[in-house]
Amino acid sequence: MTKRAFLHALLGAACLLAAAALPGRAAIVFDDHFDGDSGGVPEGWWIGHGLEEDVVEAGTIVTLYDWVSIHSASALDPSSGTVTMLTQIDGTQPDGQPHAGLSNHETFSRSGLLLRAEDGEIVMHAADTEGGPQVYTVGLVGGYAGGPILVTLILEAAAFRVLTDAPAFDSGWVDYSSAFPTFTREDLGSAVHVYLMDDVAPEQPGRSAFDRVTVDVDPSTPAERASFGRIKALYRD
């Protein structure tokens, strides 16, 4: 290889690395497929409330029984861009109510979804230090009967959106201000943990099984890296 060809190859590699580092690319910051087959609480998680024997990880499924919750040991920053949380629910029975979201353990602020197996109702739960617990009914997933379903929660700075795959459901964008008296995504802070739970009282036998949960963040484009035309477009929007 000639010196010129070598320099061209080196420059091309540098360009590829630079392109990979550009802002605006979604980055997976959390991914757990529950493949530890531990028979109990998955590695990297701890119990928020409930009994340890009510958490069973087997194969690639973690099953939660009767109002037990688990929280990820690792934290992530939801404040740097669009946050997308995908929760693959394996199924619920008989009265299970799978609940998944993000929680700040220091301020007790949280944002998460609850899916009622008996009628497919999706409820958004939130809490902050100012207004405390807040609830918003997102809608009904028509035809849902407690089977496998992928639930997607998208959190942007001013609004959130909920989607499911089968049966299909799309809430459209919902402003925080129209859903909650005080909660906004800023209340989550910069260090939150993923939580999963079976949100029914112990006297109501329930089971919620989760196959996988992932969270990715699509960073906003910093103003200093944006073109002047892009900045003007942002103001027009």
Domain annotation for the chain: domains and CATH numbers: 27-219 (2.60.120.200)
- pLDDT value at 24 more than 70: no
Q: How far is Cα 194 from Cα 50, in angstroms, rounded to an integer?
A: 17
Q: Which stretch of DSSP H or E encloses residue 178? A: helix 176-179
Q: How many Å apart are CA 44 and CA 215, to the nearest integer?
A: 15
DSSP 3-state of 151: strand
pLDDT for 200 equals 77
- Read off the pLDDT of each residue in 81-94 and give the average, rounded to a whole number: 92
Neighbours of 173 (CB within 10 A): 11
Query: Considering the chain, what percentage of its residues have pLDDT values greater than 90?
Result: 64
Contact call for residues 140 and 121 (beta carbons, < 8 A) = yes
Residue 18 CA, chain-centre distance (Å), reads 28
Select the more confidently predicted residue: 10 or 57. 57
Res 66: pLDDT:
86
168-184: average pLDDT: 96
pLDDT digits (tens, 9 = 90+) for 178-231: 999 999 999 999 999 999 999 876 667 789 999 999 999 987 544 333 333 333
User: pTM of the full predicted structure?
Assistant: 0.81
Asked whether residue 9 carries a pLDDT value surpassing 70, the answer given is: no
The Cα 222–Cα 51 span in angstroms is: 45
- Determine the average pLDDT of the residues in 86-111: 91
